Amino acid sequence: MFTFERHITNLDFIRQQSTGYANSHSGIKVCLVAFDEFSYRDTLFTQLSLPFPDVLKSAGAKRRAEYLAGRYAARQLLQEVGYNGVVATGTDRAPVWPRGWRGSISHTDTSAIAILTPNHFGISPGVDIEMFRPDIMQEIATSFTTADERDVLLAANCLPFDTALLIAFSAKESLFKALYPLVQQTFGFEVAKLYEIDPNTHTFTLELTRKLVPIFRAGYRVSGYYSIGPVGVTTMVYVSI
């Protein structure tokens, strides 16, 4: 899904940093970092020249570490394109990207990922990473998939069902991140259904079940991409604006 060039950092907190681009669209840049939440300290915000937002004042160290890693990844991408600013946080807690750019951020307990693309490509991207959770995926499956969707996942019989469920969950998270800046409304998992998944091409298709705004109506379909790693899955979608 992505082509990476690996960069090893010398920070205790950021263990590894990889940057590259999306194979499906070279205009989408990506930065993936591995971090150690137990090495987190508040002074890292100053050390890394990143602002400490008000929304983190009541957050615990784990949440602060995840936020910092995600914003660090996003800032690395901005620096690569010659922009020295940072990704702010809106009142809705969503990332606020610099004028002329669109992007998305996601994190787990140990990794964070950011993607970035210029506005002139006319797309809004979304990315999500999730760790494997085989102990609970089937228990919570009905909260984010319908019976028809689970049949689609079961038909992809070369994928373990728990993994297929995690891909579906992550795919819908990526779609939300791609659409939210455009529709400015929250919506649940039921608004998008998994229409298709192809383990051979590592792609999937989602379909909206109701209208969000005039251009994103019921029946609107968007394709996305997934990769399976040692500890979880990554998904990405982008929608045309």
**Residue 241 marked as a ligand binder:** no
Q: What's the token pair of residue 72?
A: 């660090």
Is 129 annotated in some ligand binding site?
Answer: yes
Sign of the dihedral defined by the CA atoms of residues 140, 60, 106, 217, in that order: positive
Of residues 219, 22, 40, 55, the one with CA closest to residue 126: 22
**Which residue, 194, 196, 204, 195, is CA-closest to 228?**
204
What letter would DSSP give residue 179?
H
Q: Is 177 annotated as a binding residue?
A: yes
d(CA 45, CA 49): 6
Tell whether residue 63 is among the known ligand binding residues. Answer: yes
150 annotated to bind ligand: no
Q: Are 125 and 196 in contact (CB under 8 A)?
A: no
Q: Is 217 annotated as a binding residue?
A: no
Q: Please provide the DSSP assignment of 25-87 as one string.
A: EEEEEEEEEEE-GGG--THHHHHTT----GGGTT--HHHHHHHHHHHHHHHHHHHHTT-----
Which of these, 30, 183, 28, 31, lies nearest to 119 by C-alpha position?
28
Q: Is 28 annotated as a binding residue?
A: no
Neighbour count for residue 133 (Cβ, 10 Å): 15
210 is in an annotated binding site: no
Annotated binding site for CoA: 63, 71, 106-107, 128, 173, 177
Annotated binding site for Mg(2+): 128-130
Annotated binding site: 63, 71, 106-107, 128-130, 173, 177
